[in-house]
A and B are shown apart, each in its own frame.
Chain A
């Protein structure tokens, strides 16, 4: 059972006995209802403001935040595939690499920076369309294995095909796209652009998830036979989800090379594929925002905690195991649980009010 289905199950269960009504209860009810209505938009605005402020500086913090945002895009794309289509991919870092290498290789061959972006995204889209035919024939564990294989082929090409990819050294990128006053070579403009792209990708994915397509996608995941019997083209659903996820991983890759100005095979290694999956599971599979949170935590682990704790990978691995064992909903699951407790409390208070009104 997924976090979503659990949430549904709890919502329909009786909320418990009604609470006594009174002045205090009325006040509490108003406050809780306000919280239900305003928490999400207020939190969104607050996070946005904090991000914009953090990205102003030129120091370590802004670099860290930009890294988090780039990985968050990749993690959210993976969550769209894993959490909603039920297809967990262990090759997503490979497509991040394709986007980044596409840009870098195109610039090496004297394409203009904007054309290079087009080539990078075009390459990742073409590859996603082609490989999807193979990949979505499988499900579950087999899908994990085949995507792992695909990711490793891509890594192998980046590592061994030195003539194209410069091998282990990677390819540097010196000139970023510019259009009049909008110049990505300016660090602040670049950081703000990453933030905007992050927001757009997140909102697009949330829109997809809540669209009829997203709903039938979840149906395909839960009970493919039934959806197929209802006339849904289940294979096509999985294929589209795959292409969307691969494309956004490529978008993350383009931003990756803009930010780091270098792409090397290390960014596509198996450990990176695993790291993206850990971000998604730690944040909460099937919640879009959770994996973004997971990316924040893992990048913090990687870049901050590693300064104080040399065995941070052990801690990360153990955390992953603990989440799988004890909290399958991940961090976002905790947020959802708090929301459910609040809704249950509101229901109990409302029940109390209704009883008093009746008597």
Chain B
């Protein structure tokens, strides 16, 4: 029982990290119809930059901010150059960002090498707490990650549901042409959403580097989690990203704990089921 509770908490932690990555991915797709396959590589690069800044400054929070901001700037530049040049051709965007994965990964390998790196949390966050009732000793860093993810999810929800910018973004998901026709600068909204998505991915890279590590190939793993999430939750749906992240995070953790031989593969069972039963995803609106 104790183990099950611990596994559930682990699953929720993973879900938090996956959510930070997939929410950006799904919003970018929803608003811009851009499938950014390099989103996972952005996550990993954020983790690497965070690691270097933490090593230099001995302050985790500087690293977290640096990783997020650096990737935000990277996203801004990427949207203003490559994505703009491709002019909305969906398949070209997908293929170009596929090429970009090899560039980012290769440069990361040149700078940070091939051995896995781990980011350690400072002070109290690096220790463990005995949880009430169950008496489980649980690491604080995971509780911290879970808490931060929830805070950001609530913040994003507020941004999307209660602010003017959020209303424009949601309208963009539903009907981009209409938003444009109403005189709203859609270009600016695109840049904003893309930058925010990359910023969240970089943030998640540093945060995830604590429990998952920063390693070559980590980008592919997180990208696949994010893709599974958006299929389950629905491409373009923010709430879908929350639900999908919970499903994928928990299945991945239970799978690894109880069915290690097929842990990775059973992750995709809900994906296949959703595609057969409800191809637009649980909460998806985008018709495909």
Interface residues of A (CB under 8 A from B): 88, 90, 134, 137-142, 144-146, 148-150, 152-153, 155-157, 159-163, 269-271, 274, 277-278, 281, 310-311, 313-314, 316-321, 324-325, 328
Contact = CB atoms under 8 A, between A and B. Distances in A.
A314 B106 contact: yes
Interface string B261-282: 1111101100110011001000
A140 B100 CA distance: 20
A294 B29 CA distance: 30
B220 A271 contact: yes
Contact of A324 (B86, B220, B235, B264): B86
A314 B102 contact: yes
Contact of B86 (A159, A270, A325): A325
Given A149-B227, A149-B268, A138 B106 contact: no
B86 A313 contact: no
B262 A157 contact: yes
Nearest to B102: A317
Given A141-B35, A152-B264, 20 more contacts: A137-B276, A138-B275, A141-B33, A141-B91, A142-B235, A142-B279, A145-B231, A146-B275, A149-B228, A277-B98, A278-B102, A311-B110, A313-B106, A314-B107, A316-B102, A317-B102, A317-B103, A317-B106, A319-B99, A320-B98
Contacts of B276: 134, 137
A214 to B, nearest CB: 20
Given A277-B98, A281-B95, A325-B86, A153 B261 contact: no
Interface in B237-288: 260-265, 267-268, 271-272, 275-276, 279, 288
Main secondary structure of the interface of A (DSSP, over half): helix
A278 B99 contact: yes
Main secondary structure of the interface of B (DSSP, over half): helix
Contacts of A320: 95-96, 98-99, 102
Given A157-B265, A162-B261, A321 B100 contact: yes
Interface string B94-116: 11101111111111001000000
Among all A-B residue pairs, the 8 with the closest Cβ atoms: A320-B99, A156-B264, A317-B102, A317-B103, A313-B106, A156-B265, A270-B220, A314-B106
Nearest to B264: A156
Contacts of B288: 138-142
B279 A138 contact: yes
A207 B265 CA distance: 37
A91 to B, nearest CB: 11
A274 B98 contact: yes
B94 A153 contact: no
Nearest to A146: B275
B235 to A, nearest CB: 8
Given A134-B275, A148-B224, A149-B231, A324 B99 contact: yes
B265 A153 contact: yes
Interface in B121-175: none
A134 B86 CA distance: 30
Contact of B103 (A134, A157, A270, A313): A313
A264 to B, nearest CB: 15
Contact of A278 (B98, B107, B265): B98
23 contacts: A88-B94, A138-B279, A140-B90, A144-B35, A149-B224, A150-B268, A152-B268, A153-B268, A161-B262, A161-B265, A163-B261, A271-B102, A278-B99, A281-B95, A311-B106, A311-B107, A313-B102, A314-B103, A317-B103, A320-B96, A324-B92, A324-B96, A325-B92
Contacts of A278: 98-99, 102
Interface string B66-95: 000000000000000010011000111011
Nearest to A155: B264
B201 to A, nearest CB: 17
A160 B100 CA distance: 28
A141 B236 CA distance: 13
Nearest to B105: A313
Contacts of B279: 137-138, 142
A130 to B, nearest CB: 11
Contacts of A328: 92
A317 B90 contact: no
Contact of B260 (A88, A160, A325): A160
A274 B97 CA distance: 11
A274 B41 CA distance: 14
A322 to B, nearest CB: 8
A152 B82 contact: no
Contacts of B271: 146, 149
A222 to B, nearest CB: 14
Identify the interface centre among B231, B262, B279, B288: most chain A CB within 10 Å of its CB: B288
Nearest to B235: A142
Interface in B34-49: 35
A320 B92 CA distance: 10
A321 to B, nearest CB: 4
B263 A160 contact: yes
A59 to B, nearest CB: 29
Identify the interface centre among A90, A145, A274: most chain B CB within 10 Å of its CB: A145
Contacts of A316: 99, 102
B102 A324 contact: no
Contacts of B33: 141
